[in-house]
Structure 1
Amino acid sequence: MSTESHILVIDDDPDIAKAARLLLERHEMRVSTAADPEAAWVLLAGDPIDVILLDLNFARGRTTGEEGFAMLDRLIAADARAVVIVVTGHSGIAVAVRAMRSGATDFVIKPWNNERLLTTVERGLALRRAKLETAATPPVAGGVLLGESAGMARARDLVARVAPTTASILIHGAPGTGKTLIAQLIHQASPHAHLPLVTLDAEAADAAVIAAQTAAAAGGTLVIDHIDRLPRALHATLLNAIASTRVVATTRVDRAGIRAAIGEDLLDRVGTIDIALSPLTDRADDVLLLARHFLALFAYRHAKPTMALDPATATAIAADRWPDNVRGLRQAIERAVLLGSDDVMLSPDTAEPTPLAPDLSLARNEQALITAALERQAFNVSRAAAQLGLTRAALYRRMARYGL
Structure 2
Amino acid sequence: MESLPTFQDGNILIVDDDAGILTSAQLFLKQYYKKVYVELNPDKIQSQFKKHEISIVLLDMNFQKGKNDGEDGFKYLQQILDTQPQTQVIFMTAYGDIDMAVKALKNGAIDFVTKPWKNEKFLTTVETANKLAQNLRQLEELKNSRQYQSEEQAREIEGFIGGAPSFLKAKATMEKVATSEANVLLLGENGTGKGLAAKFIHQNSGRNERPMITIDMGALSETLIESELFGHEKGAFTDASQQKKGRLEMAHRGTLFLDEIGNLSLPAQAKLLSVLQNKRFSRLGSNQEIDIDVRLICATNMPLYEMVGQGSFRQDLLYRINTVEVMMPNLTDRLSDIPLLVTYYLSSFKSKYAKHNLSISEEEFEKLKRMNWPGNIRELQHATERAVILAETDQLLASDFQNIRTGEKQLSESTSLNLKQMEISYIQKAMALHNGNVTHAAKELGIDRLALHRRLEKYGLQ
What's the TM-score once normalised by structure 1's chain length? Answer: 0.50
Does 2:261 align with 1:227?
yes
Partner residue in 2 for 1:190: 205
- Give, in whole Å, the separation in 1 of the partners of 2:186 and 2:306: 13
Task: For residue 301 of structure 1, report the CA deviation from its aligned partner.
Answer: 3.6
Task: For residue 219 of structure 1, report the CA deviation from its aligned partner.
Answer: 1.4
- Give, in whole Å, the separation in 1 of the partners of 2:383 and 2:398: 16
SS of residue paired to 2:154 = coil
* Backbone CA RMSD of aligned residues: 2.9
What is the one-letter code of the residue matched to 1:310?
A: S
Task: For residue 300 of structure 1, report the CA deviation from its aligned partner.
Answer: 3.2
Task: For residue 258 of structure 1, report the CA deviation from its aligned partner.
Answer: 5.6
Determine if contact 1:310/1:347 at 8 Å carries over to the other structure.
no
- Give, in whole Å, the separation in 2 of the partners of 1:301 and 1:234: 41
SS of residue paired to 1:262 = coil
Does 2:327 align with 1:285?
no
Over residues 210-233 of structure 1, what are the superposed CA-to-partner deviations in whole Å (9 max), with x where a residue is unaligned? 212212212111111111111122
Q: How many residues align?
A: 226
SS of residue paired to 2:191 = coil
Task: For residue 332 of structure 1, report the CA deviation from its aligned partner.
Answer: 1.0
Does 2:281 align with 1:239?
no
Determine if contact 2:190/2:376 at 8 Å carries over to the other structure.
yes
Task: For residue 156 of structure 1, report the CA deviation from its aligned partner.
Answer: 1.5
Label 1:270 to 1:362 Cα distance change in 2 as closer, same or farther (>3 A). Answer: farther
Does 2:178 align with 1:163?
yes
Label 1:186 to 1:363 Cα distance change in 2 as closer, same or farther (>3 A). Answer: farther
- Percent identity of the aligned residues? 27
Does 2:341 align with 1:322?
no
What is the one-letter code of the residue matched to 1:136?
A: S
Moved over 6 A (4+): 132-135
- Give, in whole Å, the separation in 1 of the partners of 2:404 and 2:179: 37
Label 1:175 to 1:167 Cα distance change in 2 as closer, same or farther (>3 A). Answer: same
Determine if contact 1:147/1:286 at 8 Å carries over to the other structure.
yes
SS of residue paired to 1:209 = helix
Range with greater deviation from structure 2 (186-195 or 175-184): 186-195
Partner residue in 1 for 2:92: none
Over residues 344-387 of structure 1, what are the superposed CA-to-partner deviations in whole Å (9 max), with x where a residue is unaligned? xx744xxxx8x78556118589xxxxxxxxxxxxxxxxxxxxxx
Determine if contact 1:148/1:286 at 8 Å carries over to the other structure.
yes
Task: For residue 167 of structure 1, report the CA deviation from its aligned partner.
Answer: 0.5
Task: For residue 325 of structure 1, report the CA deviation from its aligned partner.
Answer: 1.0
Task: For residue 335 of structure 1, report the CA deviation from its aligned partner.
Answer: 1.7
SS of residue paired to 1:322 = coil
- Give, in whole Å, the separation in 2 of the partners of 1:338 and 1:182: 27
Determine if contact 1:179/1:250 at 8 Å carries over to the other structure.
yes
- Which aligned pairs between 1:305-316 and structure 2 lie closer than 5 A? 305-310=356-361, 313-316=364-367
Correspondent of 2:250 among 216, 221, 224: 216
What is the one-letter code of the residue matched to 1:253?
A: M
- Give, in whole Å, the separation in 1 of the partners of 2:176 and 2:379: 29
- Which aligned pairs between 1:62-141 and structure 2 lie closer than 5 A? 136-137=145-146, 138-139=148-149, 140-141=153-154
- Give, in whole Å, the separation in 2 of the partners of 1:181 and 1:141: 11
Does 2:369 align with 1:360?
no
- Give, in whole Å, the separation in 1 of the partners of 2:330 and 2:399: 25
What is the one-letter code of the residue matched to 1:227?
A: I
- Give, in whole Å, the separation in 2 of the partners of 1:319 and 1:153: 22
Give the number of the structure whose alpha-carbon radius of gyration is greater.
2
Label 1:359 to 1:188 Cα distance change in 2 as closer, same or farther (>3 A). Answer: closer
Task: For residue 191 of structure 1, report the CA deviation from its aligned partner.
Answer: 1.2
- Give, in whole Å, the separation in 2 of the partners of 1:356 and 1:169: 37
Does 2:297 align with 1:248?
yes
SS of residue paired to 1:242 = helix
